[in-house]
Chains A and B, each alone.
Chain A
Amino acid sequence: MQKIVEVKNIEKIYGKAGEKQYKALSDVNFEVEPGEFVGIMGASGSGKTTLLNILSTLDTPTSGQVHIGGQDITKLNTNEMADFRANKIGFIFQDFNLLENLTAYENIALPLALQNTNAKKIDPAVNSIAEKLGLTDILNHYPTELSGGQKQRVAAARALVHDPSIIFGDEPTGALDSKSARALLDTMSKINHEDNVSILLVTHDPFSASYCDRIIFIKDGEIGQELKKADHSRGEFYQEILDSLGTFAE
């Protein structure tokens, strides 16, 4: 079966040649299977956001290849990158990134409107995803009228509404209280199981990571060990993560 994400020998160096340079990623390799819920875990500054920006075409690697859905995204021009983001991927950011001048409904509908989806098809799509995420009652609210957890669920709905091949989350629970964080993670894992959407979650938080099927550790820009949940319960997996964090941090 074709991999949904294939990362080969990625290297990212910040700073121009001749100036002060910083190697944020070196020789990163990994894969994500379709329908998999993968976590990338590392301390702050380890290169998680850098990696995610590259995977989502917001940034380009200094060298190496990234295939998403079989397509080499490092070879796209800027328009193709924009279309790729609009069609193939969904984003959830730590700081929500909702447009505060649009209602929840309009925020969720935006990716569809951007693809010039027929107006008649937009309404059912938005309503069905809103129902799944429990947002039906707040669709006419503006982001400033929502709690952090609600905002993040709106962002998740926006990431899902156009049926992307994969969802990228950059510490989506980072700005949430533990209850809202749990609710969001539950929702994500539900979507992952029921709709078979692949998810790549970047986090430094072991609790969030325990929701994943598999965890790839990153430290100082390099991939370290890998941890599989297999048939462990989430509690066991959480303990396992904590243990390996202890050894990995050495």
Chain B
Amino acid sequence: MLNKLALSGIKHRLRDYSVLFSGLIIASAIFYMFMSLATNSAFLKSNSPAQATSFIYGFGVVLLAIITIVYISYANGFLLSMRQKEYGMFMMLGAKSSKISKMIFVETFTIGAIATVLGSVIGIIATGFVSRLVIDALDMQVKHFNSFYLPALLSTFAFFIVIFIISALKNSISIRRTKVLTLLHKDSQPARIKKNPILKAFQVILGIIFLAIGYATMILMGSNAALIYLGVPVALFTIVIGTYFMINAVITAVISALKKNKKFSQKGLNNFTLSQLSFRISDYTKILSMVAMMFALALGAITVGLGFQNQISTVVEGQNYYDVTVNNINDAQQKRIDKLDTKKVTTYSYKASKGTIYYQASEFKKTPFKYQKFNMKSMISKTTSTTDPSNADVSFELLNANLPRYRTSRVAVVDDAKFNSIDSKKSSLTLVRTKSFNKNLAAIKKINQAEQKRYPELKDAGLSKYDSYVMVNGIFSGLEFMGLFLGIAFLAMLASCLMFKILSGASSDVKRYNMLYKIGTRAKVLRSTINKEIAVLFAVPAGLGIVHVLIGLQMFSKILYKPYMNIEIPFGIFIVLYLGYYFITRYLYKKIVLK
């Protein structure tokens, strides 16, 4: 009989349950997605030049596990909050608490198990989809990656089963311990803002100190990569605590200040909104700091991931000035070059004789030879042009552009008379600079292939720009893939966490909004109140997270050439996705609260 009642209770709250359920499914799907990367050692080995990758991934797993545990405990709290009134009622009517706690155990565990299985299936599909998308979009080369990976599936199951057994135990124990009356009146027990100014001020100071230490550590790591093993945990710890104190103390302070300002607080529903926020603050502090951290991690991962993409062109650009080199040009190659969006096509004649390659001085005078001069100190290449490529540095660049067989030759630049007198076949070297290497990539690839067919020696020793592009792209793609994947996984997790937390408060808000409606609040005003409240909850962690990332990028100042280059792209992607979550949360919240 009780079981039947409980089931009908679930039916009644199907929408709340579907929110809970989809949250759990998302959690397990993301966990699987991440595990499919982290447990795949073949993939990790073949795609990362850096030793630190396994370490980074290990760290990622720990983080994700912590986040997932926190996430599920929220979800679990949501489940309990939905049920406790009903269970309190059953108990009041005489149901034994042992019976109730058994029911809660079964319910929690069943929901968890179903969600995990569904989540893993979705995880497999999503992994395939996301990896395809990322790989195609960025022309990446990723080896040994499979969306279905058994060890990942098994570890996901194991992890979630353990967590859900613990949650189920926790729920059933907490129901058994709580008094029936408390259960019945659970949602009418507000927590007041604790007003202890000294403690608050102390927290603000502590928060600033911790954040300062964390930021300083990240900047230090940037200048000395050896500190990374100690620095990452230190930075993480201090920033987490710093973030927590900042949010806890600062938000409370801001709310109290706004409440004191009667002109603001006594206007429309402002006071109500402030009270809504302040009453949940102790609850929300934890999740907001967690979200701020995750936001920073996700945004950081995406930024760094895309940073590697920029790195590819920077590195490639730094190696060769000319996008295409063709020897002894023929009609077919000429036709292909004509199709390029060229900036300048240069052709030099040369004659090879007895270990020396002769060029004509007059040709260099007409069109100087350009190359990328590498500065060892700044690690930056600068485009330089010269009319005399016979000095050692430059002749090296010129020889590299030529056929491999001449690589050990000497370069001589001579006047026309001398050049004509040399008794050797006259050859030509055509150098093309396009307006954009990336935009002409496909055409350049064709020319490169054709050239390799004409001169098979180029195949193994090719140093054309396209060849270095392929090499560099291979190295960075793995890193990039990880960054994007991690970023998207964290983002999905973080946003649904926040969404959950907000939505789980919604059911207890129904009465409040209904009352406001009764005393004559226009529906539009109610909606804008909700929008404001949720906007604040989303904006706070986003703001802190962005600061974390901006400073955190300092860590990569040695690895990435310009860590802040094109930063608006990842930020843009991120903000669009994040706004999407904001609007979904807003929509769902309103659906629950305003019928």
Contacts and interface: CB of A to CB of B under 8 A. Distances in A.
Contact of B512 (A87, A93, A101, A112): A101
A144 B520 contact: no
B279 A101 contact: yes
B519 interface: yes
Q: Is the interface of B mostly helix, strand, loop or mixed?
A: helix
B520 A97 contact: no
B189 interface: yes
Interface residues of A, number: 34
Nearest to B517: A82
A102 B190 CA distance: 10
B519 to A, nearest CB: 6
B523 interface: yes
Contacts of A85: 518-520
A91 B271 contact: no
Contacts of B223: none
Interface in A103-128: 106, 109-114, 116-117, 119, 122-123
A109 B269 contact: no
B177 interface: no
A106 B268 contact: no
Contact of B518 (A84, A97, A113): A97
Nearest to A97: B515
Given A100-B188, A122-B266, A86 B521 contact: yes
Contacts of A101: 190, 272, 275-276, 278-279, 512
Given A99-B515, A114-B268, A119-B263, A142 B524 contact: no
A78 B526 CA distance: 13
A146 interface: no
B590 to A, nearest CB: 16
B522 A113 contact: no
A216 to B, nearest CB: 23
B190 A100 contact: yes
A144 B267 contact: no
A122 B268 CA distance: 12
Contacts of B278: 101
B196 to A, nearest CB: 17
Given A91-B519, A119-B263, A113 B275 contact: no
Contact of A119 (B267, B519, B523): B267
Highest count of chain B CB atoms <10 Å: which of A83, A93, A114, A142: A114
Contacts of A93: 518
A2 interface: no
B520 A87 contact: yes
B518 A58 contact: yes
A102 B271 CA distance: 8
B192 interface: yes
Interface in B270-306: 270-272, 275-276, 278-279
Given A86-B519, A142-B192, A144-B189, A110 B524 contact: no
B262 interface: yes
Given A83-B522, A85-B520, A99-B515, A142 B268 contact: no
Nearest to B185: A144
A144 B188 contact: yes
A79 interface: yes
B267 A102 contact: no
Contact of B266 (A83, A91, A100, A112): A112
A101 B187 CA distance: 11
A142 B520 contact: no
B358 to A, nearest CB: 89
Nearest to A122: B266
A106 B279 CA distance: 14
A82 B262 contact: no
A160 to B, nearest CB: 12
Contacts of A87: 520
Nearest to B264: A119
Contact of B524 (A79, A91, A99, A122): A79
A144 B279 CA distance: 13
Interface string A52-82: 0000101000000000000000000011001
Interface in B513-548: 515-525
Contacts of A58: 518
Contacts of B279: 101
B271 A109 contact: yes
A99 B512 contact: yes
Contacts of A100: 188, 190
18 contacts: A82-B517, A82-B522, A82-B523, A83-B522, A86-B520, A89-B520, A97-B511, A98-B515, A102-B271, A102-B275, A110-B519, A112-B266, A113-B268, A114-B520, A114-B525, A119-B263, A119-B266, A119-B267
Given A101-B279, A119-B266, 8 more contacts: A79-B523, A82-B523, A87-B520, A99-B275, A109-B271, A111-B519, A114-B520, A114-B525
The 5 closest A-B pairs by CB, nearest first: A86-B520, A85-B520, A82-B522, A119-B266, A101-B279
